[in-house]
Chains A and B, each alone.
Chain A
Amino acid sequence: MSCGAPLSLEALLAYRQGELDDAAAGEVEEHYFACAACAAALAWLEGLGAAVAGLVGVGAVSAAVTGALVERAAAQGLRVRTYRLAPGGRVACTAAPEDDLVALRLAVDAPEGEGVDLVAEVVDAASGARFTRRTDDVVVDRVAGEAVLVHAGAQIRAFPRTRWELELRTRGPAPRALGAYTLEHTPWEELPGTA
């Protein structure tokens, strides 16, 4: 099964996402109805989309997203624990056994056209051990003015008692701090009254 002029992945993505006008979408349809190879490629893409959505829908994916996505996840029945912080803010946080997602919504005034990195200095409360976790090129919801970071609940539950000093900064050789935020994480089972 082969195709002399296969539809590009970009064309298939644009078709699937409804970005093509009627004429262009019609051309894609004429092609894949007559072409088993391109129909299989589109079916694979459809399967990928459904599978990614399925993983997000069970709280199995961590990513920087938008506030609208967090609200959609909650509306679809996911248990989302949300922490909102302004620059300079501090919060005591945890993840309950039933939490599917933990959403961190960091208010930030990110300059348009500049990328943003996230640097976390983490201190283990028991041992005092420190490590740095860096996340490059974090997308920012510019409509809401937030960096919206969702983490699988299971991932957060695995952390011991730790302090997370977060900093959002511009990308590039001379980064500028955009905001600092502090999370005091305590495992759910160590909180008073939860044992």
Chain B
Amino acid sequence: MTVVLGGALRARARPPIVGPLVTEPAGRSDADLARRVLASPGAAGPEEAELCRRFAPRVRLFGLRHLRDEEAAGELTQRVLLLLLEKLRAGEVTAPERVASFVLGVARRTALAMRRDGARLAPLEPDALPAEAAAPPDPLLAARLAGCLEALGERERSVVVLTFYQGQGAAEIAAALALSEGNVRVVRHRGVGRLRACLEGAA
């Protein structure tokens, strides 16, 4: 079965560079959308697209955490959303009020399969592949972030850089710098909080 995903999934889920934290107003719940798709299988395109738009970034974040690879996280996202739409259209999601747990469960099983069987997974249908366009980097936001990093305290900047460039956890950073893990967590939390405030102030 070929499932052509709506335009919402084609939108790039990952921002090219971080800006202020932006949230969106509440609308219909995930469960409401799932009920609508269940009630009108194949005739609820906008609701399907909205579900994909909402869950794509969540699945991608899950994939980054568990598969440690942007490309693999993107593939996981496609596989999970395809299965979600198939199950909804087939009426096989029996508890729409728990659609988030359903998606998480599918993500866990699919990630496990990708780690275990990686190369043996069936390729996706070409039509199902999202046509993501590479977003150009935003030099203005990059300059803002560089300025915000420069404004951090020396220790905060060091811990932030080791966290995000070196990918180190608090225990590794603490061991390298002979600090306590608690101190690293405090410095990291303060540094990220100051970056957020600085970026929001620069918006």
Contact = CB atoms under 8 A, between A and B. Distances in A.
A25 B66 CA distance: 11
Nearest to A135: B154
Given A33-B58, A56-B164, A66-B177, 15 more contacts: A1-B23, A2-B26, A13-B189, A17-B163, A17-B168, A19-B169, A33-B101, A36-B24, A39-B57, A50-B18, A51-B17, A52-B164, A63-B154, A139-B179, A140-B177
5 interchain residue pairs of minimum CB distance: A34-B100, A47-B18, A142-B178, A52-B164, A56-B165
Interface string A111-124: 01100000000000
A69 B146 contact: no
B115 to A, nearest CB: 14
Contact of A33 (B22, B103, B137, B167): B103
Nearest to B199: A48
Interface residues of B, number: 61
Contacts of B163: 13, 17, 49
A115 B64 CA distance: 35
For the complex, would chain A's binding face be called helix, strand, loop or mixed by DSSP majority?
Answer: helix
Contact of A52 (B64, B101, B161): B161
A12 B175 CA distance: 22
Interface of A: 1-2, 9-10, 13-19, 25, 29-30, 32-34, 36-37, 39-57, 60-66, 68-69, 72-73, 112-113, 135-143
A141 B146 CA distance: 24
B160 interface: yes
Contact of A53 (B55, B164, B195): B164
Interface string B178-199: 1100000100110011011000
Contacts of A34: 30, 100-101
Which of A16, A48, A51 has the most chain B CB within a 10 Å cutoff?
Answer: A51
Contacts, number: 168
B65 A18 contact: yes
A43 B57 contact: yes
A68 B64 contact: no
A2 B178 CA distance: 39
B109 to A, nearest CB: 13
A136 B154 CA distance: 7
B18 A141 contact: no
A41 to B, nearest CB: 7
Contacts of B64: 46
A49 B196 CA distance: 12
B165 A18 contact: no
Contacts of B35: none
B165 A112 contact: no
A14, A55, A68, A142 — most chain B CB neighbours (10 Å):
A55
Interface string B13-36: 011011001111110001000000
Interface in B83-108: 100-101, 103-104, 107
A190 B137 CA distance: 35
